[in-house]
Structure formats: C-alpha cells, structure tokens
Amino acid sequence: MFDSLRVPVIAAPMAGGPSTPELVAAVGRAGAFGYLAGGYLTAASLAEQITTVRRLSDAAFGVNLFVPGIRSTVDLSAYVERVGHEARRYGTEAGEPRWDDDGYSAKLDLLVEARVPVVSFTFGLPSGSDVDRLHEVGTTVVVTVTSPEEARQASELGVDALCVQGFEAGGHRSVFTDDPDDPSGGPLYGLLAGLRLCSAVTDLPLVAAGGLVRGADVAAVVTAGAVAAQLGTAFLRADEAGTNPTQREALVAGGRPTAVTRAFSGRPARGLVNRFLREHSDHAPAAYPQLHRLTKPVRAASGQAGDPEAMSLWAGQTYTLADGGPAERIVDRLWDEAREALRRSSRRFA
Ligand SMILES: Cc1cc2nc3c(=O)[nH]c(=O)nc-3n(C[C@H](O)[C@H](O)[C@H](O)COP(=O)(O)O)c2cc1C
C-alpha cells in the first residue's frame, strides 16, 4: 500500500479536531496519504467524515482507532479535586471521570462495512478476528508500536505494516500498556533507534513517526529503511486542519519546550509545556480515558477563552519548524526538500 505512494508522506491521524476530511483529501491530491482520526468520534460522525473524504478525493486514505485498554481502578479522588479547582477557575464544571471503550466495536463494524483502504490501531493490538474481518474486505491493517517488543507482538498477530513511533512524537504515546510506575508509560526509543530495533524483529514494512518536519527528515527515515514518513505536527497549522485557534497561536508563538504528561488524559502524551502540565503532571494517575473525560470541560473553556495554559497543546519536539498554508503546498515542499537532501547526501557517498 504505502510503497506505491507518489510521495512517501503520511498525514498522521490527529484526534480531537486537527484531522479533517479536507486535510485528508488535500494530502491525497498532492500524492501523499492521509488518515482520519476515529478516536473520540461517534461511529455516525466518523461515517460522515469517510463519506466526505470520498466525495473530495479518489485517493486512498486511512482511519485510525484507539484500542480500548484495561479499566484502571486507581483512586481518582485527589485528582478530581485538583481538576475541580481548575474548573472553577475557568467558570465550568469538571467532567465525569468515567471509563468507556470509545465506541470501538461500532466503529470497527463501520470500517469493515465501508471497506476503508487502511485501518491503523493505536494504544494496543486489535483482536485476531478483527484483523481477519478487515483483511476479508481488502483493508490494510497497521499497528503503531513504540518498542521492539510491541513490534514483535504486532507482527505475530499478522498485520500488514507497523508505524514505529519515536519519543519525539506529538500527541499520545502508543504504548500498548501504560506502565503507571513510569512517567513515560514505557521505554523511550528515539525514532532512528526504534526503527532499527524494530526492523531487527520483523520483516513488515515500517512507517516512521516522531519529530519529522522537513523533507530531509522524510529522506532520512526512508534511507533508514522506512516505507514512508508519518507526520502529525507538520500538518497542525495547515489551512485544512481543524486545530483549535488557541493552540495554533501557541504553536506560532513558540518559545515553550515540549514534555510528556498524563495530566490531561491519563495516558502519556507529548505537548507544549503550560501551567496545567507543570502543576498537575506529577499528580496525574494512569487512568485513561477517565482523566480525558474529567479534564475535557476545562480544556474546552481554556481554549475558548484564548488561554493556552489549561489546554492540551499536543505537538512534537520540532513544532517550531512547522509551517502553515495549504496542505498540498506542505506536501510539495516536503517532496522538493527530500529530493534536494538526497542529492546533497548522495555526493557524500559517491
Ligand atoms: C495533535 C495530535 C493528535 C494526535 N492524535 C493521534 C491519533 O488520534 N491517533 C494516532 O495514532 N496518533 C495520533 N497522534 C500521533 C501521530 O500519529 C504521530 O505519531 C505523531 O504526530 C508524530 O510526531 P510529530 O507530531 O512530531 O510528527 C497525534 C499527534 C498530534 C500532534
């Protein structure tokens, strides 16, 4: 699937607003590949988005789903209290910290019925029977991994490709199990190390994700053996992205480091450092999606007030180098830069 792309670039699924049918269609028109983000959406709104992508473009596209995890039984009362204070500060009420499976089965049924070309899974492995159902309708199945051990498990399941996510990546880390004793949720591999170690345990095609923002980075990971580069942050400021305006402003302003935190959702994710992240990260339990639901009204109120200090500002380490503009122009530039970087580097190896 990915080795036939004219441009070996994938616009990453970005749940919570940034991924839109318009973004997916635009990168498809430019010869790259786009994912819709199925996480947090109802099956009905995901179905609408799939219909819109198909109306806007003939290019192949993918849909990403979050695999439901184990329900944490950790005591949340102290964190509920903290978020309650935040909610009062923003004139709202904290959300109900309940667990759910994000409507996973209904969305999977939809994807089988809609015969979506590619389905990728994050936060764990789908069941073998779900992989079989997708294969029966001709869907390519991808699993995101963060370590060689996860790559081994995914490859034994019989999926078609892996997305190797380095620790540089923006948004949630795709660790299969979030280790509560580890602030990062599991071992941290930089992208090149992760690619190399994963390629030692599997022959599956590997997509590379994490911190890739310029064409030279795309050329670098393809040279290192990846079939394509998956970029999230590089598309966050695209015209077609549905990124929250307050987050866009924070990205443009720059000046903040990024860090991995559970403070907003209960699962480790990388974003720009703000007050909420600084004050609550050390207290946040590993309880996804309970914390996601608990903090949702606070994040929304903060964004609406134009205040970036209590929203999740997910972005990768290289966010200051990402540009705005039409997505097709971003893809064209990545392509031109990649070719130029290869021309220059090939002289060094001639
Ligand atoms: C705002 C945002 C939302 C994301 N949402 C998802 C998601 O829904 N599913 C997923 O598999 N990965 C998600 N990711 C992670 C990307 O798939 C990818 O690993 C990451 O963007 C790569 O790092 P980069 O942002 O530095 O390019 C998200 C990333 C960002 C920045």
Per-residue pLDDT for 295 more than 90? yes
Query: What is the CA(328)–ligand 1 centre distance, in A?
Result: 19
Whether 240 shows a pLDDT value over 90: the answer reads yes
CB proximity list for 249: less than 8 A, separation 6 or greater: 306, 308
User: What's the mean pLDDT in 131-153?
Assistant: 98
**Residue-wise DSSP of 14-33:** -TTTT--HHHHHHHHHTTSE
Handedness of CA 309, 310, 311, 317 (dihedral sign): positive
Predicted pLDDT at 160: 98
Q: State the average pLDDT over residues 219-239.
A: 98
User: Could you tell me if 162 and 180 are in contact, meaning their C-beta atoms sit under 8 angstroms apart?
Assistant: no
* Ligand 1 atom nearest to 232, measured from its CA: 21
Q: pLDDT band for 235, please (50, 70, 90 cuts).
A: very high
Q: Which atom of ligand 1 approaches the CA of 209 most closely?
A: 22
How many angstroms separate the alpha carbon of residue 347 from the centre of ligand 1? 34
> Does residue 265 register a pLDDT over 90?
yes
What phi-psi label fits residue 196: left (phi over 0), alpha (psi between -120 and 50 degrees) or beta?
alpha
pLDDT higher than threshold 90 for residue 135: yes
Percent of the chain with pLDDT over 90: 99
The top-level CATH class assigned to 2-348 is: alpha beta
The rounded distance, in Å, linking the Cα atoms of 98 and 71 is: 10
Q: Has residue 337 got a pLDDT over 90?
A: yes
**Centre of ligand 1 from the C-alpha of residue 116, in Å:** 20
Query: Is 208 close to ligand 1, i.e. is its CB under 6 Å away?
Result: no
Protein residue whose Cα sits closest to atom 15 of ligand 1: 171
When pLDDT is averaged across residues 300-329 and rounded to a whole number, the result is: 98
Q: Are 229 and 9 in contact (CB under 8 A)?
A: yes
Ligand 1 centre to CA of 174 (Å) is: 9
> How many whole angstroms from 230 Cα to the centroid of ligand 1?
9
Burial label for 19, CB within 10 Å (0-12, 13-18, 19+), is buried
For residue 39 and ligand 1, the question of a CB distance below 6 A is answered with: yes
Question: How many A from CA of 234 to the centre of ligand 1?
Answer: 10
- pLDDT given for residue 1 in this prediction: 83
Rounded to the nearest integer, the mean pLDDT of the chain is 97
199 CB less than 6 Å from ligand 1?
no
Neighbours of 302 (CB within 10 A): 26
Query: Does ligand 1 come within 6 angstroms of the Cβ of 202?
Result: no
How many Å apart are CA 23 and CA 237, to the nearest integer?
11
Asked if residue 170 has its Cβ within 6 Å of ligand 1, the reply is: yes
Give per-residue pLDDT as tens, 191-227. Answer: 999 999 999 999 999 999 999 999 999 999 999 999 9
Count other C-beta atoms under 10 Å from residue 196's C-beta.
16
Q: Which DSSP helix (H) or strand (E) runs through 333? A: helix 327-348
Report the 10 Å Cβ neighbour count for 277.
Answer: 24
Residue 350 has pLDDT above 90, yes or no: no
pLDDT at 180: 95
Mean predicted confidence (pLDDT) in 257-274: 98
Residue 181 pLDDT level (bands cut at 50, 70, 90): very high
Distance CA 4, CA 260 (A): 34
Task: Tell me which residue has its CA closest to atom 4 in ligand 1.
Answer: 14
Residue 29's pLDDT is what?
A: 97
Answer whether 322 contacts ligand 1 (Cβ < 6 A). Answer: no
Cβ(308) – ligand 1 distance below 6 Å: no
What's the rounded Cα separation, in Å, for the pair 27 and 208? 17
Q: What is the pLDDT of residue 313?
A: 98
